[in-house]
Structure 1
Amino acid sequence: MKRFRYEIIGISEVRWTGKGETPSGDLIWSGEERTHTRGVGFLLSKQAKKALIGYNPINSWIITARFNASPFKMTVMHVYAPTSTFSEEDIEAFYNDIDEVLSKTDKRDVIILTGDWNAKIGSDNSDWKPVMGRYGYSDRNERGERLLEFATAHNLYVCNSRFQNKSDRKWTWASPGGVQRQTAIQEIEKRSTTVPRS
């Protein structure tokens, strides 16, 4: 985090129970009450900790934090979408929770959404140019379609599809033989970031 000079990093699968922050305040999280599964959080730099107005641990899928920024305040939401093992009803409940949080967010704030969306939006943006670029990965799936509909409804843009990246930039970890690397390449499209369109 220090080497790349990141101020705020969203974390999925924190797997800590309950909700709260570390004594130093550099990690805030929201998890399940009793099981070490799922969970989301933010890792904050010293600068971000100073700018933090407050945070809201919604559930083990969603956490938000609000920061003093200039010239506007900033609300950052990090999510971990239900995986394919969950039902469509669970997905709808997840998006409804996000909708509710966004409806309560100050309209003057800059809004940034990060997370593991468990969706593939693909690279064909012919019908989705206002919300995505043409550098997504793989073929679009139903969850990807749902993510694009959500981005459209909230005037958001899927940023990791905006610029072309080399293949070795589409994975976050690897193992000898490349088996897990290939899996990671298939999964990376899930980690979509959305920000307001200007």
Structure 2
Amino acid sequence: MPRETDTLPDIQVQWTESGIPSEESIIDAAAAGMVSRKDEPYESFVKDLSLSRAKEFLTKMIEYGHESVLEHITFQFWVSMSRVASHQQVRHRMASYTQMSLRKKRSLTTDDFVVPPQIKSEDLGEWIADSKQVIDTYEKWLAKGYEVDVARRKLTQEARTDMVMTINARSLRNYFNLRAKHDADFEINAVAKRMYQLICEEGLGFLFEDIGFE
């Protein structure tokens, strides 16, 4: 099970059990970068490489634009979002995803539908009622004896989906550069910012602090 963290409204982002890069992986990434710069045996410079020195080295590599070494650092998140936002999420193909399937029969409630924060309080009841109507329609076609593959086509894009996302630090920088901007879809923008918050809480924000989060 994912470890619990605070959540954004209607959007959930958590670390998986092994999702946080270890100190050793940070040191290994820096050592990998040093391989291309030092004419000496690997053991001679990696044995005394501290975490603080590794962070300094990786920060310099980012400044120089030599980001390939960041591919040795891997993050893994559990994300819950709407299916419409998930379609944009999985476009970042330099990552690995395992996503909840809607081909299995599910008992749905209105909590399984993401409510956009833009919905005004006076319209919230109507929005939720529309979601309930979608659920009723889905269940009606199941009750008629149709397979889930048929009935699920009545579900709307706001239906919630869960996924596990594994991504290396270099690709995550690209993800943040595209999705942490004000013109990104509001939901995936919130997911990106929550990921960055979790990363900073683990002392790994130095890998992304040059990116302007909006």
* TM-score class, shorter: under 0.3
Larger RCO (alpha carbons 8 Å, 6+ apart): 2
Determine which structure has the larger helix proportion and give its number.
2
TM-score of the pair, normalised by structure 2: 0.25
- Whose radius of gyration is greater, 1 or 2? 2
TM-score (norm 1): 0.26
